[in-house]
Amino acid sequence: MRSVSKKELFESMSVPKAIAAMAIPTIISQLINLIYNTVDTIFIGQTGDPAKTAAVTVAFTIFMMTVAFSNLFGIGGGSLIARLIGAKREDDARKVSAFSFYCAIGVALLYSLLIGVFLDPILRLLGASDATIGYARQYVLVVVVAGNLPVILSQTLAHLLRNTGHSRQASVGLSGGGILNMLLDPLFMFVLLPAGMEVLGAAIATLLSNLAACIYLLLTYRRVSRSAPLSFRPRDAKAIGKPEIKSLFSVGVPSAALTALFDVANIFLISLMSAHGDLEVAAIGIVMKAERLPNAINIGLCQGMLPIVAYNYSSGNHERMHRVIRSVRVYGLIIAALSLVLFEIFAAPVVRLFLSTTAAAYDDAVATIGYAALFLQIRCIASIPQFLNYHTSFCMQAVGNGRDTLIHSFCRELVFYIPFMYLLDALFGKVGLVCALIAGESCGAILALILFARWKRRTKT
């Protein structure tokens, strides 16, 4: 896409077309990456061993923390770049992109080191039992300790590309990695490695696919930087000004906190659920994968919205900014409502995709499927308030309102969701623990809407 087309995309194209141009590639990328993460669980589930499914659930929590670190410089830097472009400050945008690139590398290496040193205590903290810790250790060592750098760098580069209008190129890179993973999974799990090493096989497939995606995005970023305000030159990173660093972190830190606190909440969920048994942990792990389908669509929708909102806020076109916000809110609510209805009707068939009852441990597999179907029917009720949380948070990030984004993130998980887990678990056991998501997301959505309405009154936009 030529630069003049990007100007049209951000400034004058009809709102539905602009949203589609930015969001559809991002949604496709989100869905393909969801599918490849889900395929890991499905293939592992074909072994009929709930212990392996539970182990991947524990390990996946550590892996998902990489999203928080990529958001720190991807969304923090990307949203700032979009605002700088809207303000016609492209030289500063290049400096921000280079700074984000090198900081992402540093954070990725540090996280790998920390996980590698404290791996076993972390796995135990997350609820790994004697039956699951060996499998969880295999997955984390390969995917996170050895493969964390390409994951964080890929996601950061995708955010930076997307916020300069290159949504399609960003999505091709992430989607290509996902498709490659789906092809490599059965090869490593059932052909190249011996029986019993399925978790390790899935981990190796994930590592190689993430590496391939990173190489593609690096080459694309280099090519695009010839015409777009992007750079990875060290001198540009060093030349960034203190106001730009402050602006980057004012959005990046709350965005990272939003994802990190979500993962922290999942840590508490898995830890509390582990007290009820490994089958329940496997069941909630299946549900957490299944419910990511509507979440992936809506997150992709919001990520596509963010650059348009940021650009128009900075350029002063607030009328167009609010039309984009309202349109995306309607689209997302429709998707959330449809997902709620479909999961209520088809919960049992959906969860059966993730665990075979024809292999070993038949009784355990059937019990796990029963728990998972019940848990999914309960948790899907939170779909609508969960989207409102995502949508409002992305809007606040787009306009640089980091303070309210951080308040919302903190309260959503630490003030509402986690306390509800302990309260409802104590009162109603595992069913109450699952219901905590509905209460936490509903309270979080109310707070988010209040914070955003207060920001609009304060800024008169």
For residue 37, the model assigns a pLDDT of 66
25-62 pLDDT, tens digit each: 888 877 776 776 666 666 776 666 777 777 777 787 78
109-137 pLDDT, tens digit each: 999 999 999 998 988 887 777 888 888 89
93-104 pLDDT, tens digit each: 999 999 999 999
Collect all residues with Cβ–Cβ distance below 8 Å to 261 and sequence separation of at least 6: 409, 410, 412, 413, 414
Task: Return the higher-pLDDT residue of 279 and 216.
Answer: 216
| Whether residue 1 has pLDDT greater than 60 | no
For residue 41, the model assigns a pLDDT of 67
Tokens for 270, please give them: 């898995």
* Dist. CA 263–CA 416, nearest whole Å: 15
| Whether residue 2 has pLDDT greater than 50 | no
| Whether residue 421 has pLDDT greater than 90 | yes
238-248 pLDDT, tens digit each: 999 999 999 89
Report the pLDDT averaged over residues 7-14.
80
Tokens for 249, please give them: 């972190």
Position of tokens 């524990």?
58
Q: What does pLDDT average to over the chain?
A: 87
What are φ and ψ of residue 239, in 5° steps?
-85, 0
Report the pLDDT averaged over residues 401-419.
92
Neighbours of 422 (CB within 10 A): 14
Task: Return the higher-pLDDT residue of 43 and 169.
Answer: 169
Of the pLDDT bands very low, low, confident and very high (cuts 50, 70, 90), residue 4 is very low
